[in-house]
């Protein structure tokens, strides 16, 4: 990768980090809405698709911890720590599948990498929550996992499945981020 592209990706990653820090302020005034819409997830996925997993993964890990330290939300333990692993998993899996495992980037590969990343990230969050809560002596049941990973998050999952492809298609149409169409 040339220095110009690396610098561009670094600047974009910083932009996505800033968006991830600020975007929850729009929904965070009502905690339940913020928890349902998952505002930190959007810049993480976009960074993975635009800059690649190499940039998005560390940014995604730092994002919830930094947000916790700056704004006090989410609480650092266990929420921000579990989210750090979850968001890093999203970024790594989405970016890795999108850039490394497929030869052709299009809306189908975008959806495949997005959905696989969502599943893996939620599993990572569940394992992290289980470990972190076990250290404290608390329990994390399978019902709590399902509620936190899917039931409460369902509106945010839908938002991600709708908005991220729309944004990527718009960027492709504007010739800002092109789909790779090699066979």
pLDDT tens digits for range 107-120: 999 999 999 999 99
- Among 85-89, 160-164, 174-178, the least confident range: 174-178
79-98: pLDDT as tens digits: 999 999 999 999 999 999 99
Place of tokens 């991600």: 160
- Among 65-74, 128-137, 158-167, the least confident range: 128-137
Give the per-residue pLDDT at 136: 85
Give the per-residue pLDDT at 29: 66
**Prediction pTM value:** 0.93
Question: pLDDT band at 37, cuts 50/70/90?
Answer: confident
CA dihedral sign of residues 43, 45, 46, 52:
positive
Give the per-residue pLDDT at 181: 66
The residue that leads in pLDDT, 37 or 46, is 46
Q: How confident is the prediction for the chain on average, in pLDDT?
A: 90
CA distance 60 to 137: 27
Number of H helices, E strands in the chain: 8, 0
Inter-residue long-range contacts of 95-102, CB under 8 Å, 24+ positions, other chains counted: 95/48, 95/49, 95/51, 95/52, 95/53, 95/54, 95/56, 95/57, 96/53, 98/48, 98/49, 99/52, 99/53, 100/53
Give the per-residue pLDDT at 1: 64
User: What are the structural domains of the chain?
Assistant: 3-173 (1.10.1760.20)
Is a pLDDT exceeding 50 seen at residue 183?
A: no
Give the per-residue pLDDT at 31: 66
């Amino acid at each position: 990768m040339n220095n110009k592209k690396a610098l561009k990706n670094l600047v974009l990653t910083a932009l996505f980090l800033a968006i991830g820090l600020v975007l929850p302020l729009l929904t965070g005034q009502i905690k339940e809405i913020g928890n349902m819409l998952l505002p930190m997830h959007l810049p993480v996925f976009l960074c993975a698709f635009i800059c690649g997993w190499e940039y998005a993964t560390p940014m995604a890990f730092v994002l919830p911890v930094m947000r916790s330290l700056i704004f006090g939300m989410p609480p650092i333990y266990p929420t921000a720590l579990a989210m750090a692993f979850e968001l890093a998993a999203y970024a790594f899996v989405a970016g890795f599948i999108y850039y490394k495992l497929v030869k052709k980037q299009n809306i189908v590969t975008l959806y495949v990498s997005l959905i696989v990343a969502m599943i893996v990230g939620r599993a990572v969050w569940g394992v992290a929550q289980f470990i972190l809560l076990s250290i404290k002596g608390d329990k994390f049941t399978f019902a709590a996992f399902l509620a936190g990973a899917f039931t409460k998050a369902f509106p945010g999952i839908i938002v991600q499945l709708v908005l991220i492809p729309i944004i990527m298609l718009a960027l492709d149409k504007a010739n800002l981020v092109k789909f790779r169409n090699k066979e």
